[in-house]
């Protein structure tokens, strides 16, 4: 390919149709024509090997004749017609040489994105590959992943290119990585299956391809992903660096789904990275560690793991999207909604470097955020648009289930369960772990159907899957009470109690008002204890989780044992809040509750015995004294250096022994207690 164009080779009359009056002007116009946008003077100087007054005079002449238009950004044609005339007057072989020259110039001046586009045009016209430039550009984070994938696909298609065996293997893997980053999942799978079937580069390369195949299935069929990764690790002659990469990928996939062997996988990955450090190994380990922590409800641990790595590092490109999304997920779980909104805006502005595959993941996060804070119509509109834009097969099961869950929840809240049921009828989620974990969020949304028995199998499977990983329950907190309520309506108190345990575990580890409120709300539903739900309302008032607060108010109003005046006040407040959120169906239910009052309290009231105080243990006395004095459960837990769950268990024992039902009765009864009734 020519690398320079000099005027002594360009003499002669202007080609027919060209608006140039000389060969010099003609080459200026051709250089401007191949630019993607405005053409700056430095680019003209590099393309024509001319500088100084002569070049400037020719440019001014073209501007004065209204062939070119000048602006602060650079030179443009005065019209699309003039540009078309110039391009038509340029011979095709010369045009491809101009694109090749432009690619080299732009790459040298650190404009990798435009350089890659120019090189693509040159390769399409000539069928020749500039191997060093292709290798350089596809590794540059400034090149859009889809363009990088196209460069590699074009280069790999050229027969006879000077590409050695090792570079060919590297290009095959890089092609898959860039296609996946670009969201072009089916072409990525096609390249993988073609390379695996060819099996031309030995067991080591086959292991790398199987590893990529495992990563491809990670957010759709984790069982298949784990199987492929095990197959890859079983290959002979595996390079230590590649083994380290496979181990960290396995730990990441296994961690998100709560695989029983994940601790072993993670330890092996740490050893592998220590033995053969790779540029992105630490980032993969951070993602794996965060996945394990989040599956166990340890949100602070997940945040610490993600904070140890830099998503802007060049080595992080392949995983940067997942790192950014996981950090946003952590903000959502912690109720840091303003911070999450800011992070989403920044990530969206950087979509070119993160890759188009990130956009549906960010859309799902955005919809989660809007549902959590109560922007229900906007969340539904965005989720519906995304599902139309990304049909089945173009997004992962995890993202698709999330977007469907938004539509189902909003439909139920707006009083249209028929629409929700129609959406649910259109999917066939896997029934078994780990593949069903991606669909737990959809099951949680289905729990809002006023007739949960329609989805009984889906709901029971969701609660069972949470025993492996509570991650799906963390993303939109108000769905934990919905799942609990549905389990109770199905007569399944055991599963309702399990959800309460999971929510309490998260609350103890997160220690935020949002999760204490959710845990108390769920425990109040399970124990039929309005005092707990009242505490939940108090906690949730300090958060931006308005749907969670409105749900707690409505449940408080409907609970047996809530005083009539308090029930009516809670129902009216809940109805007003639901109305502001656009939850018209919930608003109507709360309005009916305000008019009808709470349900009668038909619970069996245990008989109070004189021996009740004497039956209390020392630990139960300490808990009772603190709560009778006005402390919350979490305050009592902190004062006694025990868990919230321990306090909750001991308080229930106190209620049973004293024959009371709530803390108001406890406070009144405690004033009648005498010191000699302390346990000996």
Q: Does residue 482 sit in the same domain as residue 586?
A: yes
- Mean pLDDT over 483-498 rounds to 93
pLDDT over 90 percentage in the chain: 55
Q: Does residue 542 sit in the same domain as residue 661?
A: no
pLDDT per position as a tens digit, 187-243: 998 999 999 998 888 888 899 899 988 888 888 899 999 999 999 999 877 888 888
- Mean pLDDT over 46-64 rounds to 89
- Point out the domain boundary residue: 596, 631, 662: 596
66-70, 161-165, 337-341, 583-587: least confident range: 161-165
Pairing of strands 75-77, 68-70: antiparallel
| 3-state SS string for 146-187 | HHHHHHHHHHHHCCCCCCCHHHHHHHHHHHHHHHHHCCCHHH
Residue 657 is assigned to a structural domain of this protein? yes
Angle subtended by helix axes 80-88 and 23-33, to nearest 10: 110
CA gap 593, 596 in Å, rounded: 5
pLDDT at 317: 67
Residue 526 is assigned to a structural domain of this protein? yes
pLDDT per position as a tens digit, 59-78: 999 999 999 999 888 999 99
Query: In terms of pLDDT, which residue wins out, 468 or 21?
Result: 468
Residue 60 is assigned to a structural domain of this protein? yes
pTM for the predicted model, two decimal places: 0.78
pLDDT at 13: 39
Query: In terms of pLDDT, which residue wins out, 135 or 356?
Result: 135
Phi, psi (degrees; rounded to nearest 5) at 76 = -135, 165
Q: Does residue 666 sit in the same domain as residue 541?
A: no
pLDDT per position as a tens digit, 410-421: 999 999 999 999
Residue 171 is assigned to a structural domain of this protein? no
Residue 220 is assigned to a structural domain of this protein? no
Query: In terms of pLDDT, which residue wins out, 445 or 182?
Result: 445
pLDDT at 314: 64
Q: Does residue 575 sit in the same domain as residue 617?
A: no
| CATH value at residue 641 | 1.10.10.10
88-92, 140-144, 241-245, 307-311: least confident range: 307-311
Other beta carbons within 10 angstroms of residue 208's beta carbon come to 24
> Any idea what DSSP says for residue 450?
S
The rounded mean pLDDT for the chain is 87
Task: Tell me whether the omega of the peptide bond preceding residue 434 falls within 30 degrees of 0, making it cis.
Answer: yes
Asked if 520 and 529 touch (Cβ cutoff 8 Å), the reply is no
pLDDT at 599: 61
Q: Does residue 68 sit in the same domain as residue 124?
A: yes
628-645 core/surface letters (b: 16 or more CB in 10 A; e: else): beebbbbebbeebebebb
pLDDT at 10: 34
pLDDT at 4: 38
Q: Does residue 30 sit in the same domain as residue 124?
A: yes
Q: Kindly write down the DSSP assignment for every residue of 98-111, as one continuous string.
A: HHHHHHHHHHHTT-
Residue 120 is assigned to a structural domain of this protein? yes
Other beta carbons within 10 angstroms of residue 170's beta carbon come to 18
pLDDT at 678: 55
- Mean pLDDT over 341-363 rounds to 89
Of 175, 185, 173, nearest to 396 by C-alpha is 185
- Point out the domain boundary residue: 89, 112, 140: 140
Residue 252 is assigned to a structural domain of this protein? no
- Point out the domain boundary residue: 140, 171, 204: 140
Q: Does residue 570 sit in the same domain as residue 646?
A: no
Q: Does residue 481 sit in the same domain as residue 558?
A: yes
Q: Does residue 53 sit in the same domain as residue 102?
A: yes
Number of domains in the chain: 3
Q: Does residue 625 sit in the same domain as residue 568?
A: no
261 alpha carbon, distance to own chain's centre: 24
pLDDT at 11: 36
pLDDT at 442: 94
- Mean pLDDT over 98-122 rounds to 94
Q: Does residue 504 sit in the same domain as residue 621?
A: no
Q: Does residue 136 sit in the same domain as residue 55?
A: yes
pLDDT at 3: 38
Residue 70 is assigned to a structural domain of this protein? yes
Asked whether the predicted pLDDT for residue 121 surpasses 70, the reply is yes
14-18, 80-84, 191-195, 296-300: least confident range: 14-18
Which residue range forms the structural domain that includes residue 93? Answer: 7-140
CA gap 486, 449 in Å, rounded: 8
Asked if 284 and 248 touch (Cβ cutoff 8 Å), the reply is yes
């Amino acid at each position: 390919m020519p690398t320079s164009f000099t005027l002594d080779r360009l003499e002669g009359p202007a080609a027919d149709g060209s608006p140039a009056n000389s060969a010099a002007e003609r080459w200026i116009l051709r250089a401007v024509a191949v630019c993607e946008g405005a053409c700056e003077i430095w680019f003209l100087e590099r393309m024509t090997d001319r500088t100084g007054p002569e070049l400037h005079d020719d440019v001014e002449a073209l501007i004065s004749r209204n062939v070119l238009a000048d602006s602060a950004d650079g030179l443009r044609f005065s019209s699309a017609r003039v540009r078309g005339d110039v391009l038509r007057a340029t011979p095709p072989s010369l045009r491809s040489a101009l694109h090749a020259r432009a690619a080299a110039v732009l790459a040298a001046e650190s404009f990798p994105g435009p350089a890659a586009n120019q090189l693509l045009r040159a390769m399409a016209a000539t069928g020749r590959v500039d191997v060093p430039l292709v290798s350089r550009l596809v590794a540059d984070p400034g090149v859009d992943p889809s363009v990088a994938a196209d460069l590699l696909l074009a280069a790999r298609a050229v027969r006879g290119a000077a590409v050695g065996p090792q570079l060919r293997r590297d290009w095959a893997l890089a092609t898959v990585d860039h296609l996946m980053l670009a969201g072009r999942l089916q072409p990525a799978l096609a390249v993988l299956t073609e390379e695996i079937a060819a099996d031309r580069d030995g067991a080591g390369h086959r292991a790398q391809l199987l590893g990529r195949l495992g990563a491809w299935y990670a957010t759709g069929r984790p069982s298949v992903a784990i199987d492929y990764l095990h197959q890859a690790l079983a290959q002979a002659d595996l390079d230590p660096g590649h083994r380290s990469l496979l181990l960290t990928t396995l730990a990441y996939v296994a961690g998100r789904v709560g695989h029983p062997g994940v601790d072993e996988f993670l330890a092996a990955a740490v050893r592998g990275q220590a033995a053969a450090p790779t540029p992105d190994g630490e980032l993969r380990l951070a993602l794996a560690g965060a996945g394990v922590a989040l599956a166990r409800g340890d949100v602070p641990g997940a945040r610490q793991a993600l904070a140890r790595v830099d998503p802007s590092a060049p080595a992080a490109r392949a995983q940067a999207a997942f790192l950014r999304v996981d950090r946003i997920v952590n903000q959502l779980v912690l109720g840091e909604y303003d911070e999450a909104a800011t992070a989403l805006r920044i990530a969206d502005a950087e979509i070119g470097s993160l890759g188009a595959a990130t956009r549906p993941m960010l859309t799902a996060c955005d919809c989660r955020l809007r549902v959590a804070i109560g922007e229900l119509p906007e969340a539904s509109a965005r989720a519906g648009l995304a599902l139309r834009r990304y049909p089945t097969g173009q997004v992962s099961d995890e993202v698709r289930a999330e977007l469907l869950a938004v539509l189902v929840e909003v439909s139920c809240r707006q009083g249209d369960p028929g629409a929700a049921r129609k959406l649910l009828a259109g999917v066939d989620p896997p029934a078994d772990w780990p593949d069903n974990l991606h669909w737990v969020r959809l099951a949680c949304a289905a729990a809002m159907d006023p007739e949960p028995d329609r989805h009984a199998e889906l709901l029971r499977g969701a609660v069972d899957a949470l025993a492996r990983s509570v991650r799906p329950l963390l993303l939109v907190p108000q769905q934990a009470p919905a799942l609990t309520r549905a389990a109770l309506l199905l007569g399944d108190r055991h599963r309702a109690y399990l959800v309460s345990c999971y929510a309490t575990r998260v609350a103890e580890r997160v220690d935020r008002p949002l999760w204490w409120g959710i845990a108390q709300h769920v425990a109040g539903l399970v124990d039929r204890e309005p005092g707990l739900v009242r505490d939940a309302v108090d906690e949730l008032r300090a958060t931006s989780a308005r749907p969670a607060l409105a749900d707690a108010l409505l449940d408080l109003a409907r609970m047996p044992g809530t005083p009539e005046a308090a029930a009516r006040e809670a129902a009216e407040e809940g109805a007003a809040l639901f109305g502001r959120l656009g939850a018209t169906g919930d608003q109507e239910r709360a309005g009916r509750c305000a008019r009808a009052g709470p349900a009668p309290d038909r619970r069996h009231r245990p008989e109070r015995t004189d021996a009740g105080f004497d039956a209390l243990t020392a630990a139960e006395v300490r808990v009772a004294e603190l709560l009778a004095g006005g402390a919350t459960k979490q305050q009592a837990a902190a004062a006694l250096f025990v868990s919230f769950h321990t306090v909750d268990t001991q308080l229930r024992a106190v209620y049973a022994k004293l024959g009371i039902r709530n803390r108001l009765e406890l406070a009144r009864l405690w004033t009648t207690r005498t010191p000699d009734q302390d346990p000996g």
